[in-house]
C-alpha cells in the first residue's frame, strides 16, 4: 500500500549494516571500525584517569572505575574461576566486558547509534581469543591427552553412554561453544539495531509520506522506538555480561579436571 507511493517504503535489511567508507579510497574503513578504535580510546582514557592515582578514599572517578572493576572481579572472575587462579584471567574477562559493553551501548548513543558487534567479524575476533585461551589453558593444565580425555570421557557415566557422549562433548566444546558465543552476541546486536531502525525509520516514513491518520499513528512508532531503545540498553549490557560470564565459565571448566 505504502510502497505504491513515490519510490516507496524500503524495509530495513542487512544492507543497512553496510555503511559507506569514511575516507575515500579506503573502502573497508567504515563507521564501526572507527567506533571500535574510539571505544578503546575512551576506555583507556577513562580507566587511566580512574586508576592513575588510586587512593584509600576514592575520588568519584576512581569509585566509578573500581565499581565496574570490582563487579567483574568478584562476580565474573573470582566466584567462577576461584580465588587461586582468577587474577591471571581477570584482565581478559574485564577487557572483554568493558569492550563489548561500550561497543554495544554505542548502538543507542545519539549520533553514533550503531552497535559495533552487529558486524559479525567483531564478535568472531573476540571469540577467537576466548577459544584459543580456554583450550590452551585446558591443554596446559591437564596435558593435551588429559584435556581431551576429561572433555570427552567425563567420569561417573556408564561406559556405553560414551558412544554418544564423547563426540557430542568434543563437538560442543571445540566447535559449538565459539559458534554460539559469537552468534549470540552478533544476533542480539543485529536484531536490536534492526528493531530500532524499523520503528524509527518506519515512524519517519509514516510521518513524512503518510496521510491523515497514518501521520498521527507515527507517534506510536516513535514511542515504541524510544521504549525499545531503553530495552536495547538492557540487552546490550546483558550481552556483554553473558559473553564475559561464559568466558569465565569456559576457562573454569578447562582448569578443573572434572567437567
Partner 1 sequence: MDTLLVVRAAGEDPNPLVPHIAEIIVGLIAFGILYYFVAKFVVPRFEKSFAERTEAIEGGLAKAEVAQAEAAAALEQYQAQLADARGEAGQIREEARAQGAAILAEMRQQAQAESDRLVANAQSQIEAERAAAVASLHAEVGTLASQLAEKIVGESLSDDERQQRVIDRFIADLESQPSGQDA
Chain residues in the site for partner 1 (CB under 8 A): 2-3, 8-11, 13-15, 17-18, 28-29, 32-33, 36-37, 39-40, 43-44, 47-48, 50-52, 54-56, 58, 62, 65-66, 69-70, 73, 87, 90-92, 94-96, 98-99, 118-122, 124-126, 128-129, 186, 190
- Residue 97 or 148: which CB sits closer to partner 1? 97
Minimum Å distance from CB 184 to partner 1? 13
For the bound state, the minimum distance from the C-beta of residue 181 to partner 1, rounded and expressed in Å, comes to 14
H-helix or E-strand spanning residue 121: helix 121-152
Closer residue to partner 1 (CB): 151 or 189: 189
- Which cell is 189 given? 546486536
- Of the pair 35, 245, the CB lying nearest partner 1 is at 35
Closest distance of CB 129 from partner 1, Å: 7
C-alpha separations of 87 from 75, 142, 164, 244, 248 in Å? 13, 20, 36, 15, 12
> Cβ of residue 14: shortest distance to partner 1, in angstroms?
4
Across 231-244, b (16+ Cβ under 10 Å) vs e yields ebbebbeebbbebb
**CA neighbours closer than 13 Å in the CB half-sphere of residue 18:** 5
Residue 228 burial (CB count, 10 A): 18
Residue 235 near residue 185 (C-beta atoms within 8 A): no
Grid coordinates representing 86 are 582468577
Q: Which is nearer to partner 1, 122 or 148 (CB)?
A: 122
Give the shortest CB-183-to-partner 1 separation in angstroms: 8
Residue 27 or 211 with smaller CB distance to partner 1: 27
According to DSSP, the residues that pair with 30 across neighbouring strands are 21
Smallest distance, partner 1 to C-beta of residue 131, A: 13
Closest CA to 114 of 224, 18, 32: 32
CB distance 161 to 83 below 8 Å: no
Nearer to partner 1 (CB atom), residue 69 or residue 148: 69
Q: Per DSSP, which regions of 19-126 are E strands?
A: none
Amino acid at each position: 500500500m505504502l510502497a505504491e507511493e513515490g519510490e516507496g517504503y524500503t524495509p530495513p535489511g542487512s544492507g543497512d549494516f553496510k555503511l559507506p567508507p569514511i575516507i575515500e579510497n579506503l573502502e573497508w574503513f567504515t563507521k564501526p571500525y572507527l567506533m571500535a578504535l574510539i571505544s578503546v580510546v575512551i576506555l583507556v582514557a577513562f580507566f587511566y584517569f580512574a586508576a592513575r592515582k588510586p587512593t584509600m578514599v576514592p575520588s568519584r572517578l576512581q569509585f566509578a572505575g573500581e565499581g565496574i572493576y570490582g563487579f567483574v572481579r568478584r562476580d565474573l572472575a573470582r566466584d567462577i574461576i576461584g580465588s587461586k587462579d582468577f587474577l591471571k584471567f581477570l584482565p581478559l574477562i574485564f577487557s572483554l566486558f568493558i569492550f563489548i559493553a561500550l561497543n554495544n551501548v554505542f548502538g543507542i548513543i545519539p549520533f553514533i547509534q550503531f552497535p559495533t558487534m552487529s558486524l559479525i567479524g567483531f564478535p568472531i575476533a573476540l571469540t577467537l581469543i576466548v577459544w584459543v585461551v580456554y583450550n590452551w589453558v585446558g591443554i596446559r593444565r591437564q596435558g593435551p591427552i588429559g584435556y581431551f580425555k576429561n572433555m570427552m570421557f567425563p567420569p561417573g557415566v556408564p561406559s556405553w553412554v560414551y558412544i554418544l557422549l564423547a563426540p557430542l562433548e568434543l563437538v560442543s566444546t571445540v566447535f559449538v561453544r565459539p559458534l554460539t558465543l559469537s552468534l549470540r552476541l552478533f544476533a542480539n546486536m543485529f536484531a536490536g539495531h534492526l528493531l530500532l531502525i524499523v520503528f524509527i525509520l518506519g515512524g519517519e516514513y509514516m510521518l513524512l509520506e503518510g496521510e491523515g491518520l497514518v501521520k498521527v499513528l507515527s507517534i506510536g512508532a516513535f514511542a515504541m522506538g524510544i521504549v525499545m531503545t531503553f530495552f536495547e540498553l538492557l540487552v546490550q549490557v546483558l550481552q556483554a555480561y553473558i559473553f564475559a560470564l561464559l568466558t569465565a565459565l569456559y576457562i573454569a571448566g578447562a582448569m578443573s579436571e572434572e567437567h
